Amino acid sequence: MPDHNYFSNLIWQIADLLRGPYRPPQYERVMLPMTVLRRFDCVLAATKANVLAEYEKRRGGRLEGDALDSHLNNAAGQRFHNHSPLDFEKLKGDPDHIEQHLVSYIKGFSANVRRIFDYFEFENEIEKMREANILYLVVSKFCDVDLHPSTVRNEEMGRIFENLIRRFNELANETAGDHFTPREVIRLMVNILFMNDDGLLATPGAVRKLLDPACGTGGMLAEAQNYLREHHAEARLYVYGQDYNKRAFATAASDMLMKEVSHNGGGENVRFGDSLIDDQFADDTFDYFLTNPPFGVDWKKQQKAIQQEHEKRGFDGRFGAGLPRVNDGSLLFLQHMIAKFEPVRPAGHKHGSRLAIVFSGSPLFTGGAGSGESEIRKWVIENDWLEAVIALPEQMFYNTGIGTYVWIVTNRKEKRRKGRIQLLDAREVWTAGGSEENKRSLGDKRRHITNAQIADIVRLYGRLGEGENSKIFDNADFGYTRVTVERPLRLCYEMTIEDKARFLDACPHLLDDVQAIDEALGREPQHDWNEVWSRIENLLHRRKSRWKAPEQKLFRSVFTQKDSRAEPVAKSGRDDGYEPDSDLRDFENIRLKDDIDDYFEREVRPHVPDAWMDRSKDKVGYEINFNRHFYRYTPPRSLEEIDAELKQAEEEILRLLREVTE
């Protein structure tokens, strides 16, 4: 029997018919919906007569909408039906009206399938193919592809679909990274997500649920189910997804409908909408989460709604920990998923949740103490939810060459991992080429991870050992206190004719007082503002003059300049100490494990003797500086080696010049 590769190649060949009216990155606009349509046509063929009879019986009656769909679905024996008298064979019978018949055929499906084709925006493609005179040919070719369940089982159909999605996304590599994650990255994430859950997954009758809130074309959902089929055939994993990209959503929804109900539960598993402001699973919790949210995509359009939820609901909502800067919303997805964690209550069959998410490097360290990003990291780490961070090789994704990181987050750490975080450096674990099947580069994707390399990474992860590529830290190792270090303000007083005129322009009514001050203090610079102001206050008291606070402030700003040789300015009133100089203010990030006073005396005081700490402004922050922990010193090359290379380059240039002139 032909395998999924045979059918994938057969459908792939049909795509050549689109060349001309469509560019290769646009082929998926036709080929994916046509594949879905042909599969549905084959699946429903055996019960087509039953559905048509039931439809004639029910048509015009009281049943309509969802109620009618439910009856017709039962007649079809599926979660969908088609009550049009047409099928692919009949569509071939009238070439002149193929467009109208195809649209009518699609409208004969149940509402869940019609909605999928609406999101595919397939009627636009039907019109485009008609205008290019290729619509009938494409339909005829698909009619020759036998996707009947007796020929292609649901499992094989899923693989065909996944194969096509991968190929079309590789063609569209300029945007594919928005909704397509390389399969080997997903396999790594899935292996680690389920690695210690054999007991839970093998429990008879157990049902586990997995969510991807940015599911794209459903690759992560499909790979999670593949893992369960290979390792725990008896386990039931219901997968759910949400996405706001119309075509990606339609693709994922189609994939779910094509698969067995036993692997998906009932209802609509993939739903359309923006997870951040239109949560389609608001009242649900899940056992597992997988996602690759868009890198560096801003959330300005959602900002108002998200800020309202943050401010009004706090931790009763999803974003209580904090909001990242508006140019990157990836940490919002992390909070969104944590809000859907199962609690850990084994007696109530609640076993907590595990989450794997792909990030760029930014969420590891962007934002100082007190920023939204730092507050989110603080919340996750102090709750002991961050289990590990895995650094992946660069050039792994289709539309970006940047380095990426997989975070593993859970509220049910193993006992040996509690209070600890593993950093695993897999940046040098890669093989050249786009994938194991395709060794050529695909867009920015020039590297892949083989199955053997995935197994090596998973074993290294599971050992939880210290080594060159794996390091274990206490949670507190990533925290620090941002301490404000102040230095005293030092002012030199001097009255000049120009400054005097400037002050009197603003306060002409103080002329007599200023003249008295000028006469009493003179025009020479004076380096002790405390003494100067004391003399001025005494003089004004004798003159029975009372200056308002703004006038006093203006006088000091006009007649003083900062001078490092001057005496420190004492605080006014009963406060002890000196006024701080905001221009000299500095900050020290001191590890949570360090004694702050001891650190200050050891590291700061010897260099800045007049400094002090303002502990009222302390802020606790968290960051994960991956490079610092895996820094490897590379000694510089010798001067002799560099000179030899330069000499060789000079000789090559001279040789080329001689060739040009000769």
Would you call 162 helix, strand, or coil by DSSP?
helix
Tell me what pLDDT residue 175 has. Answer: 46
In this structure, the dihedral spanned by the alpha carbons of residues 373, 627, 389 and 589, taken in order and rounded to 10 degrees, is: -40
Tell me what pLDDT residue 1 has. Answer: 53
Tell me what pLDDT residue 264 has. Answer: 59
Is residue 621 a contact partner of residue 369, using CB atoms and an 8 Å limit?
A: yes
Cα separation, 135 vs 8, in Å, equals 20
Q: What is the pLDDT of residues 595-604, one digit of tens each?
A: 999 999 999 9
Q: What residue spans of 213-302 are helical by DSSP H?
A: 219-231, 246-258
pLDDT tier at 442 (50, 70, 90 boundaries)?
Answer: low
Cα separation, 338 vs 222, in Å, equals 22
Cα separation, 602 vs 360, in Å, equals 37
Report CA 233 to chain centroid distance, whole Å.
Answer: 31
Which residue type, as a one-letter code, is found at position 474?
A: D
In this structure, the dihedral spanned by the alpha carbons of residues 240, 242, 248 and 252, taken in order and rounded to 10 degrees, is: 10
Tell me what pLDDT residue 384 has. Answer: 98
Question: What's the CATH code, domain 173-481?
Answer: 3.40.50.150
For 491, phi then psi, to 5°, come to -125, 140
- For the chain, give every domain's residue range: 4-163, 173-481, 491-562
Tell me what pLDDT residue 261 has. Answer: 44
Sign of CA dihedral 159, 125, 275, 188: positive
Is residue 243 a contact partner of residue 292, using CB atoms and an 8 Å limit?
A: no
Q: pTM for the complete prediction? A: 0.85
DSSP, res 465: -
Q: What is the pLDDT of residues 338-353, one digit of tens each?
A: 999 999 998 888 889 9
Q: What is the pLDDT of residues 180-232, one digit of tens each?
A: 688 889 999 999 999 988 877 877 777 889 999 999 888 888 888 888 888 87
Report which secondary-structure segment, H or E, holds 492. Answer: strand 491-493
Is residue 116 a contact partner of residue 254, using CB atoms and an 8 Å limit?
A: yes
Is residue 300 a contact partner of residue 324, using CB atoms and an 8 Å limit?
A: no
Tell me what pLDDT residue 441 has. Answer: 59
Cα separation, 607 vs 88, in Å, equals 83
Cα separation, 161 vs 259, in Å, equals 11
Cα separation, 312 vs 308, in Å, equals 6
Res 559 pLDDT > 80: yes
Q: What is the pLDDT of residues 402-440, one digit of tens each?
A: 889 999 999 999 999 999 999 999 999 888 876 666 666
Q: What is the pLDDT of residues 8-61, one digit of tens each?
A: 788 888 888 998 899 888 888 999 899 999 999 999 999 999 999 988 887 877
Q: What is the pLDDT of residues 242-297, one digit of tens each?
A: 999 888 888 888 888 776 544 455 567 899 999 999 999 999 999 999 999 988 78
Tell me what pLDDT residue 639 has. Answer: 86
Q: What is the pLDDT of residues 253-266, one digit of tens each?
A: 888 877 654 445 55
Rounded to an integer, the average pLDDT of 74-103 is 91
Q: Position of tokens 């190929």?
A: 167
Sign of CA dihedral 65, 70, 74, 80: positive
C-alpha dist (Å) from residue 156 to 81, 228, 603: 21, 15, 65
Report CA 139 to chain centroid distance, whole Å.
Answer: 39
